[in-house]
Amino acid sequence: MDDAALPKQKDSGTSPLDKLIKVPGGAKDAGIFLKECRHSGKLILRGDPSDDLFIKSTSKVLGYKLPLTPNTFLKNSEYTSVWLGPNEWLVNSLPGDDSSLENDLNIALTDVHHSVTNVSDNSTIIQLSGPNARSVIMKGCAVDVHPRVFNPGDAFQSNLAAASVIMWQLNLIPTFNIMVRASFASYLWKWLLDAGAEFGVQIRL
Amino acid sequence: MLYIKCPWCGYRDDAEFHYGGEAHIKRPFDADSLSDEEFSEYLFQKSNTKGLTLERWVHTSGCRRWFNVLRNTVTNEIIEVYPSNQLPSSQAGKEYYKNNWRRKSAAESLTTRQVEK
Ligand SMILES: [Zn+2]
- What ipTM does this complex have? 0.86
3-state SS track over B31-78 = HHHCCHHHHHHHHHCCCCCCCEEEEEEECCCCCCCEEEEEEECCCCCE
Residue B113 reports pLDDT greater than 90: no
- pTM across the whole model: 0.89
> Under DSSP, is residue A137 helix (H, G, I), strand (E, B) or coil?
helix
Residue among A84, A85, A164 minimizing CB distance to B61: A164
Q: Which CATH architecture has domain A41-120?
A: 2-Layer Sandwich (3.30)
> Between chains, do A159 and B16 touch, taking CB under 8 Å as contact?
yes
Q: Which CATH architecture has domain A16-38+122-204?
A: 2-Layer Sandwich (3.30)
The answer for residues whose C-beta is within 8 angstroms of residue B85's C-beta and 6 or more apart is: none
Residue A12 reports pLDDT greater than 80: no
pLDDT number for residue A2: 47
A109-140 tens-digit pLDDT:
999 999 999 999 999 999 999 999 999 999 99
> Between chains, do A143 and B8 touch, taking CB under 8 Å as contact?
no
List A93's β-bridge partners, or say none.
A41
Q: What phi and psi values does residue B91 have, to the nearest 5 degrees?
A: -60, -45
- Euclidean distance between CA atoms B108 and B55, whole angstroms: 17
Centroid of chain to Cα A78: 13
B-chain CB neighbours of A158 within 8 Å are 12, 16, 61-62
Domain segments of chain A as ranges: 16-38+122-204, 41-120
pLDDT number for residue A15: 85
Q: Which of A78, A80, B100, A29 is nearest to A66 (CA)?
A: A80
- Euclidean distance between CA atoms B72 and B54, whole angstroms: 9
A137-195 tens-digit pLDDT:
999 999 999 999 999 999 999 999 999 999 999 999 999 999 999 999 999 999 999 99
Q: Which of A140, A116, A115, A113 is nearest to A126 (CA)?
A: A140
pLDDT number for residue B114: 52
A60-99 tens-digit pLDDT:
999 999 999 999 999 999 999 999 999 999 999 999 989 9
A67 neighbors A156 (Cβ within 8 angstroms): no
DSSP letter (8 states) at residue A39: T
> What's the pLDDT band for A20 if we cut at 50, 70, 90?
confident
The answer for residues whose C-beta is within 8 angstroms of residue A130's C-beta and 6 or more apart is: A30, A31, A32, A33, A173, A199, A202
Structural domains in chain B plus CATH codes: 3-116 (3.30.2270.10)
Residue among B9, B15, B65 minimizing CB distance to A71: B9
B79-90 tens-digit pLDDT:
999 999 999 999
> Between chains, do A158 and B8 touch, taking CB under 8 Å as contact?
no
